[in-house]
Amino acid sequence: MRKNPPKFEVILLLIIILIAGCTSTRIENFMPQDTKEKDIGIGPFGPRLRNLAQQKGFLVGTGIIANFWKYETLYTETIKKEFNIITPENQMKWQQIHPSRYKYNWLQSDRQVEFAEDNNMKFHGHTLVWHNQNPSWLKPSFDKSTMIEILREHIQAVVGRYECRIALWDVVNEALDNDSLRETIWLNTIGPEYIDLSFQFAHEADASAMLIYNDYDISTLNHKSNKLYDLIQDMLHRGIPIHGVGFQMHITNSGIDYQSFERNMKRFADLGLQIYVTELDVRMTDNSKDNLNKQAYVYQNILKLCLKQPNCRAVQMWGFTDRYSWIPNFFPGYGWALPFDEHYRPKPAYYTIQNIIMGDEMP
């Protein structure tokens, strides 16, 4: 009969675990892993994106909708088989997760994190500080010291709950308005130091997590990305724990300046930052064959340049099927922005992503 280990051995083991910490969630520690489902490797449309990406130690992902487990099975099955990182579109924003000052709603975020763990995926937390989707109780009438304490309590409660389970966090989201700091409740009550504080609080809650700044219109060289570069460079010089930058890329099938995109990634990488394409979609005015091919070309170039840059660790679409895309509601007259159509059929963009990861390109 096996005996229980002596008490001192149990104590020693606990000490070792505490000293070692939990670095396994960090993106730089991501390594290709075998999956539980044999059909993840090859699907009806060829090699799965997930399998191809994992072979290169790369992350390809999607934003996920609320209560996704209540939708058709094909939604969850596609996520499982095609992606190795997921991001909640809305469920971790203040309005949803912190509805009253002394109450949190963990139901959806818990289930989403568990889904990622059950399916051997990385989880990208979104977002800890933003000017939108805040609860009504969060008012600008609070004084500075109270707002700092609210900020601290929120970040440490949310990040702390998922310590060692969430690989990276969008700590501060969209703090810039072109080339200056955006007027927000945080800036107006705390001042510019709210950005530093947010990263410091997050790092205190989980030293293993990758902490990034996330924004739109910063993927190419322009006034806004210049301001962000100067801001992050200064933060790094002062020892603020910021590890990466997230490029939201809600763009049209006209594309972007790809040379500028490449140069911009390089300068952020030269600061020692990791780079993530966090919210990619490519909207169109119709789904004609010509537009679909133009869209595929945009996906091709962004993915190709990201894979070329060693510090670019992930490309994540903001959703994956047109059935649940946010685009038609926010950009009237546009749609068809994602790699799968509303019937979960792959579009040319899907095959382009597949080919680029394999090392091929569109003809």
- Enumerate residue ranges in the chain where pLDDT < 70: 1-21, 23-40, 361-363
Catalytic residue among 9, 114, 279, 361: 279
**Residue 174 bears catalytic tag:** yes
pLDDT at 302: 98
pLDDT at 25: 55
Token pair of 39, please? 């059909």
Of 249, 356, 341, 216, nearest in space to 300 by CA: 356
Of 208, 185, 188, nearest in space to 131 by CA: 185
Each domain of the chain, given as residue ranges in start order, spans: 36-358
Q: What sign results for the dihedral spanned by CA atoms 322, 324, 327, 328?
A: positive
Q: What sign results for the dihedral spanned by CA atoms 276, 250, 121, 343?
A: negative
User: Under CATH, what is the fold of the domain 36-358?
Assistant: TIM Barrel (3.20.20)
Catalytic residue among 9, 117, 174, 204: 174
DSSP at 132: S
CA torsion 312→21→61→305, rounded to 10°? 10
pTM of this prediction? 0.90
pLDDT at 223: 96
pLDDT at 57: 94
pLDDT at 40: 53
pLDDT at 45: 82
Contact assessment for residue 278 and residue 170, using Cβ atoms and an 8 Å cutoff: yes
Contact assessment for residue 315 and residue 60, using Cβ atoms and an 8 Å cutoff: yes
**Residue 82 bears catalytic tag:** no
Q: Which amino acid appears at position 309 of this protein?
A: Q
- CA separation for the pair 26, 164 (Å, rounded): 9
Q: pLDDT for 10-20, tens place per residue?
A: 344 444 444 44
Q: What sign results for the dihedral spanned by CA atoms 281, 285, 287, 291?
A: negative
Helix axes 289-308, 258-270, angle to 10 degrees: 30
